[in-house]
Amino acid sequence: MIAKSLIAAAAVATTMTLALPASQAQAGVDINIGIGVGGYPGYYGPGYPVYNPGYPTYKNHISCKKGRNIVDNSGFNNVKPIDCSLPRYKYTGWRFGKKYVVSVNRWGNIVKVNKI
């Protein structure tokens, strides 16, 4: 009689263990690495912007990289950013053997071109 009770208890314990949902542990990992050398905050050296999670992101303007691509696709060669702060991004680029400074506004329009 005791053996049957122990077997029944083991069966009930096994059934209860399988019926309970298994909870999973979640590991939270947050790694931030920032490297900067002088210049403006958020820049890696003169004229090279770097992503900085401490600065707010805005959805109402293009990125510095997108502005560089716009200038590059407008016929300028060897385009390099020199100032990636709003209200205008500034880039240097070559066209027909002459060097220019090109300004792009927050919406991606070229607003000024000056020959150096």
Q: Where does the pLDDT of residue 85 fall: very low under 50, low under 70, confident under 90, or very high at 90 and above?
A: confident
Confidence tier at 18 by pLDDT (50, 70, 90): low
Burial group, residue 76, by CB count within 10 angstroms (0-12, 13-18, 19+): buried
Whether the model pTM is above 0.85: no
In whole angstroms, what is the distance from residue 23 CA to residue 13 CA?
A: 18
For the chain, the domains span: 61-116
- Give the 3-state secondary structure of residue 60: coil
According to the model, what pLDDT value does residue 86 have? 83
Question: In the sheet where 98-105 sits, what is the strand order?
Answer: 77-83, 88-95, 98-105, 110-115
Q: What is the mean pLDDT of residues 29-56?
A: 50
| pLDDT of 71 higher than 90 | yes
Higher-pLDDT residue of 14 and 54 is 14
